[in-house]
Amino acid sequence: MFDCRVLQKGFSLLELLVALVVFSIGLLAIAGLQTVSKQANFEGAQRTTASQIAYGLLEDIRTNGDAADTYRTAGEFGGGRRGGEPVPNCQVGAECNAVEKAVHDLWFWEQLIDGNMETSAGAGTGGVMLPSICIDGPVVGGAGIYQVTIAWRGTASIVNSINNPCGALGGNYGANLEFRRIIQIPTYIDPTI
């Protein structure tokens, strides 16, 4: 009689190679998932930052209703388009009228979205990638729906079906706006209240 137990004494080289291939494929899949996870985490952080800034800007418009039209007519900004800090600095207790406060608020939110409030070695480290902020509202700053739209550059191309001109002309988001990410926050504001 032939005893099979005597012939099997360990792994063969072929079994070892098959096990290494299977293990390697699993490690590559995990590395790919980590890359996708990091990208999604970055996109989520960008969206969260944009959303917080949009809500903060809307709250400034609500509290400074006398200058609602100044916010609305600011045009598209972001990326340092508003220039240096306006005088007077309304955040350190200087006497400011409603328009001066609005101008300073707009500058502040641009600094925040550009990442200039957090610096490392003199360079901004917070904010979002290639931002644009647009504010829409009723003509002459009256009561109605005000909307803050923030656009920024994402890390991967997507089909962009949002019909909003914010950031569309800057060339920062690809030929077909395939890298543009956008958040629109509307709210009703009555400046007279």
Residue 119 falls inside a structural domain: yes
Residue 8 falls inside a structural domain: no
Average pLDDT value over all residues in the chain: 89
3: pLDDT confidence band, cut at 50, 70 and 90?
Answer: low
- For the cut 90, the answer to whether the pLDDT of residue 5 exceeds it is no
Q: Give the Cβ contact number of residue 136 at 10 Å.
A: 16
**Domain range spanning residue 39?**
13-189
Residue 140 falls inside a structural domain: yes
180 bridge partner residues: 153
Residue 109 falls inside a structural domain: yes
153: pLDDT confidence band, cut at 50, 70 and 90?
Answer: very high
Residue 56 falls inside a structural domain: yes
Query: pLDDT tens digits for 86-119?
Result: 988 888 778 999 999 999 999 999 999 998 887 7
Query: Do you know the residue count of the chain?
Result: 193
Instruction: Please count the structural domains in the chain.
Output: 1
Q: Are 77 and 132 in contact (CB under 8 A)?
A: yes
Kindly give the interhelix angle for 13-63 and 98-114, rounded to the nearest 10 degrees: 170
* Separation CA 44–CA 118 (nearest Å): 19
4: pLDDT confidence band, cut at 50, 70 and 90?
Answer: low
